[in-house]
Structure 1
Amino acid sequence: MAATSLIILAAGMGSRMNSDLPKVLHPLAGAPLLHHAMQAGRALQPERTVIVTGHGAAEVEAAARRFDPDIDTVLQAEQLGTGHAVQQAMPLLAGLTGDAVVLFGDTPLIQPDTLERMREARAQHAVVVLGFEGAGRYGRLVMRGPELDRIVEYKDATDEERSISLCNSGVMCVDTSLLADLLNELRADNAAGEYYLTDIVAIARSRGLSCGAVICDSRETVGINTRAELAEAEAMFQARARADALENGVTLTAPETVFFALDTVIGRDAIIGPSVVFGPGVTVESGAEIRAFCHLEGCHISRGATVGPFARLRPGAELAEDVHVGNFVEIKNAVLDEGVKVGHLTYLGDAHIGEKTNIGAGTITCNYDGVNKHRTEIGPRVFVGSNTMLVAPVSIGRDAMTGSGSVITEDVPAEALAIGRARQVTKLGMAVRLMDLFMSKKKKA
């Protein structure tokens, strides 16, 4: 297979979004729209990826590099159309051969296998365009038998051309060495006064070159221009992600209530309960169970672990096999070794918990002093009594215990029992006398 270069157009302002945020950075499934296009293109294993920026260029570039630090960017300072945008990328592709695939940063639902079909079709055509069956104000693909004759923009189309149902998505796959040459012949003699990328089809045909079209589901070509369209795309993404999870052997007890992120990974035979929300960066291994009303992000859950209901796992949470995290537990930047049990009403942050340790209800690692974060180290087979406050930095050795209600401020040696609470004082009859005193003061007031 010939080498592939990827050009992603991400220069638009997106004024209809009514936002200070560049359009391609609006989130869909926990990730910027741009990342969706980049992920689809990544499946082609591109030799080079060029992001064409414009509005909010610095923000867009930073977001793109978070996804792939090896991308290149180029600024389209003046917005003169899609053809002009692609022209800005061409100097970065100088000397490269193979295919150039042009994608759009605001078209997040395109599938990798669709791009692969386009690349395969490029073996028969100099230019391949992605089309879909539709209507509305899209450009039309004018076919001549199996060949694509030309693309006509809707505003420039005749009534007869507008009646064509085969619409242009804008996505193209073109011979890289040919693309720059075709772009040089673009003219802005159209109703918008712009350089249309679509015009390269007619230019290629005038040279006797073959052009073709690949057809995909119209849902893959959905572009985002408004908040309403963003919400519709979210619904489409989630529906597809749920269907994929079920197909891959994941149990979703109430699929319509589960929300996935772009990069969510779930192994077969995992069970996901109702109203679970996956943020970015979550992996759930085979056989794990996530119970109802959990929120997970940036975490890893191993085989046989159970989480929830009503648990929150934050970035850096690592759960080993057969860990149990119960209701109203929050874990952040903490590693729980095999067989750890954290039943309920607990916060563990910046910590390491050894295997088969039991964390009692109401336990808190007090990890923040107002300026810095500090770690808590708990060894294996420790029993942490309910309502224990662990004031970090602090460590508890293997097989140790803490008494319920303790505030632990010093390291606890292995096999020791640590109790850090005030001695109880009981004064007989004092409760009644105090109540009488309080009532008499209230009456006088």
Structure 2
Amino acid sequence: MIDKNSVSVILCAGKGSRMNSARPKVLNTICGKSMLGYILDAQIESGIGRIIIVCNSENIDLIRSNTNKDIEIDYVVQSKQLGTADALKVAATNTNFKDISNLFVFLGDTPLVTNSDITYLSNSLKSNDILIASFETENPTGYGRIIRDNEGRVCNIIEEGDATTEEKSIKTCFSGIIIFNNISILSLLDNIKNDNSKKEFYLTDVIKIADNNNLNVRDVLLEYDSVRGVNDYIQLSQTEKIMSERIMQKFMKEGVHISLADTSFIHPNTQFGKNVTVEPNVYIGEGVIIGDDVIIKSFSYLEGVNIKKGATIGPFARIRPESNIGENSKVGNFVELKNANVADNVKISHLSYIGDASLGSGTNIGAGTITCNFDGVEKYKTIIGKNAFIGSNSSLIAPIEISDNSYIGSGSVITKDVPTNSLSLSRSEQVTKNNWVKKRSTKK
């Protein structure tokens, strides 16, 4: 159980130069959600009551605007990137540490850590003065190596750049997570020097100083896939695969039938009802709510849509944000919706664009129908009533209203409102010239 007076410090002040991106590293997304977002959610779910995020002067505004959480978050600036120990000192100096029990320190680029991992670490702290999370890997390149004494206590952490050849062969590595049992231990940070290859103040140096002061420092092994860091887009891709598998397994355990799950993308905040089927090669982005008995067919792309019970989507459907699909409605192949409210029992089966529109229940939209919602300057709304029939290859020029039980003849361009129970046609009269081909051939 996490002590309610525990505090977390998340270190996000690094420039992330290896990402070669203008975006702050911790705001790069994994399955549609920022790395920092995953870390924050895990800490909130574990019961940590207060969070401090250490930023730099360039990324603080972006980080602040992307961390809207229902928990107290303090943002502090490390004006000069002088290392992780300096970042923690900045957090301690610029915030109120009164009534703090345990202090957790995390790196902002380790999005795979879970609330279960955090709880396990907290429970393992016990009588230890400092606890660190470690992991074992056959390829430890880039990570600090953990040095233990004969009794299993951690006596040092050697950074990769300062390790000897023998030390580099060590497979047990530091994850970046440290827990201090008492806030007074932070006074050891004043003893850290920057006599290393990067001239930075390493937080890892506090371990050797603590050992020299006879403090009890231990490590707890976590799975590598819970603590692996992200420093470039290759590692981001590897991490996203792991996170995607977790997300898929979570939804499948909750009863969602996801066929060939490794071919699809599903945002972690998607809400599913019961008896939902997701066919292969589907993209479900942010803000999607899917009701009971819904089928999402292959190659559909969904964002910001609420799909009600019994609806069928796709294949090859695209639904853009601010759309709603009613019960038992069908949005078929090569149909695109944008800001469309589709009532119950509506059929839009083929090759149509419905944008900025409202469709009443029981309406049928023929293949090739377009709501022409944009005149080059403004966007306008199309309103179609209940039980209307829109013939194939029709263009509805907004703003326009097609009332209940009305019919639109195929191939029409409709520019005026259509009253209830009416038929509206707008196409040129067909002309047929008998024997025209024969006469044309004779002229040659």
Q: Deviations over 1:193-248 (max 9, x none)?
A: 22222233344455554433332110122222222222222222223333333333
Please name the residue that 1:388 is paired with. 394
> Match of 1:142, SS?
strand
Shift in alpha-carbon separation, 1:94–1:322, aligned structure 2, 3 A: same
> Match of 2:88, SS?
helix
Q: Is contact 1:2–1:99 with CA below 8 Å preserved after alignment?
A: no
> Match of 1:120, SS?
helix
Query: Matches of residues 132-151 of structure 1 in structure 2 within 5 Å?
Result: 132-134=135-137, 135-143=140-148, 145=151, 147-151=153-157
State which drifts further: 147-156 or 112-121.
147-156
> Match of 1:43, SS?
helix
Q: Deviations over 1:296-339 (max 9, x none)?
A: 12222233221100001111122233221111111112222222
1:92 aligns with 2:95: yes
State which drifts further: 67-76 or 95-104.
67-76
1:131 aligns with 2:134: yes
Shift in alpha-carbon separation, 1:289–1:153, aligned structure 2, 3 A: same
Deviation at 1:147, TM superposition (A): 4.5
Q: Is contact 1:35–1:67 with CA below 8 Å preserved after alignment?
A: no
Q: Is contact 2:4–2:48 with CA below 8 Å preserved after alignment?
A: no
1:276 aligns with 2:279: no
Shift in alpha-carbon separation, 1:76–1:423, aligned structure 2, 3 A: same
Percentage identity across paired residues of the two chains = 35
Q: Is contact 1:12–1:55 with CA below 8 Å preserved after alignment?
A: no
Q: Is contact 1:301–1:320 with CA below 8 Å preserved after alignment?
A: yes
* Structure 2 Cα separation of the partners of residues 45 and 410 of structure 1: 59
* Structure 1 Cα separation of the partners of residues 99 and 369 of structure 2: 59
* Structure 2 Cα separation of the partners of residues 431 and 126 of structure 1: 98
Question: Normalising to structure 1: TM-score of the pair?
Answer: 0.86
1:361 aligns with 2:367: yes
Q: Is contact 1:17–1:225 with CA below 8 Å preserved after alignment?
A: yes
* Structure 2 Cα separation of the partners of residues 161 and 139 of structure 1: 10
1:3 aligns with 2:5: yes
| Unaligned stretches of 5+ residues in structure 1 | 441-445
Deviation at 1:80, TM superposition (A): 0.9
* Structure 2 Cα separation of the partners of residues 93 and 377 of structure 1: 56
Shift in alpha-carbon separation, 1:12–1:385, aligned structure 2, 3 A: same
Deviation at 1:421, TM superposition (A): 0.3
Query: Matches of residues 299-378 of structure 1 in structure 2 within 5 Å?
Result: 299-378=305-384
Shift in alpha-carbon separation, 1:119–1:396, aligned structure 2, 3 A: farther
State which drifts further: 339-348 or 390-399.
390-399
Shift in alpha-carbon separation, 1:334–1:342, aligned structure 2, 3 A: same
Q: Deviations over 1:251-309 (max 9, x none)?
A: 22222211233433444532111111222232333432111111112222233221100
* Structure 2 Cα separation of the partners of residues 179 and 436 of structure 1: 101
Shift in alpha-carbon separation, 1:4–1:342, aligned structure 2, 3 A: farther
Q: One-letter code of the match for 2:350?
A: H
1:225 aligns with 2:231: yes
Q: One-letter code of the match for 2:405?
A: D
State which drifts further: 23-32 or 319-328.
23-32
Q: 1:47 aligns with which of 43, 46, 49?
A: 49
Please name the residue that 1:412 is paired with. 418
Q: 2:110 aligns with which of 87, 107, 111?
A: 107
Shift in alpha-carbon separation, 1:304–1:143, aligned structure 2, 3 A: farther
Q: Deviations over 1:58-103 (max 9, x none)?
A: 5632552467797443222211111112222222343252433322
Q: 2:26 aligns with which of 24, 27, 39?
A: 24
Question: Normalising to structure 2: TM-score of the pair?
Answer: 0.86
Q: What is the aligned-residue RMSD (CA, Å)?
A: 3.1
Q: One-letter code of the match for 1:92?
A: T
* Structure 1 Cα separation of the partners of residues 356 and 224 of structure 2: 46
Please name the residue that 1:443 is paired with. none
Query: Matches of residues 143-182 of structure 1 in structure 2 within 5 Å?
Result: 143=148, 145=151, 147-157=153-163, 161-175=167-181, 177-178=183-184, 180-182=186-188
Runs of 4+ more than 6 Å apart: 67-70, 433-437
* Structure 1 Cα separation of the partners of residues 330 and 71 of structure 2: 36
Q: Deviations over 1:113-136 (max 9, x none)?
A: 112212333344343211111233
Shift in alpha-carbon separation, 1:390–1:136, aligned structure 2, 3 A: same
* Structure 2 Cα separation of the partners of residues 210 and 12 of structure 1: 30
Q: 1:424 aligns with which of 421, 424, 429?
A: 429
Q: Is contact 2:418–2:424 with CA below 8 Å preserved after alignment?
A: no
* Structure 2 Cα separation of the partners of residues 106 and 20 of structure 1: 16
Q: Is contact 1:143–1:150 with CA below 8 Å preserved after alignment?
A: yes
Q: Deviations over 1:351-383 (max 9, x none)?
A: 222233222222222222222222223333333
